[in-house]
């Protein structure tokens, strides 16, 4: 059976207060993050941290980025390429009011 050349994924998560791996680029594929947003559905400002993880190296893309109450933040200003095994890791200052969504294109290597 042939593998699909391109696979589109929608990733959703409720942001936790501890760093949580929310997406891993699969073996044999490169993940291209097309969109990454967090909505703060609460009434007070909350912070979010977005990390690129490769093996044991974490690179903060955003660190304790404030999102006002009842607002949405775009976490990336462009596309992010994740090689096989790379991870997106996320945390926030609240574990109920921050909702994450991402669109990822997985393309066969």
Q: Note the pLDDT tens digit of each residue in 2-60.
A: 778 999 999 999 999 999 999 999 999 999 999 999 999 999 999 999 999 999 999 99
Flag whether pLDDT at 89 surpasses 80: yes
Burial class from Cβ neighbours inside 10 Å (0-12, 13-18, 19+) for residue 33 reads: buried
Tell me what pLDDT residue 1 has: 66
Predicted model pTM: 0.94
Q: Which residues of 2-24 are buried (b: 16+ CB within 10 A; e: fewer)?
A: eeeeeeeeebebebbeeebebbe
Which domains does the chain carry?
6-108 (2.60.120.340)
Is-contact 61 28, C-beta < 8 A?
Answer: no
Q: Note the pLDDT tens digit of each residue in 19-32.
A: 999 999 999 999 99
Q: Note the pLDDT tens digit of each residue in 60-77.
A: 999 999 999 999 999 999
In 3-state terms the chain splits into helix, strand, coil percentages (rounded to 5) of 0, 65, 35
């Amino acid at each position: 059976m042939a593998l699909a050349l391109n696979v589109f994924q929608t990733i959703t998560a409720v942001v936790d207060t501890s760093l949580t791996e929310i997406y891993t680029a699969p073996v044999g594929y490169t993940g291209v993050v097309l969109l990454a947003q967090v909505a703060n559905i609460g009434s007070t400002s909350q912070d979010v941290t977005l990390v690129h993880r490769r093996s044991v190296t974490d690179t903060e893309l955003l660190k304790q980025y404030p999102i006002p109450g009842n607002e949405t933040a775009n976490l990336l200003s462009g596309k992010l390429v994740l090689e096989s095994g790379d991870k997106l890791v996320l945390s926030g200052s609240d574990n109920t009011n921050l909702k994450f969504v991402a669109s990822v294109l997985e393309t066969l290597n």
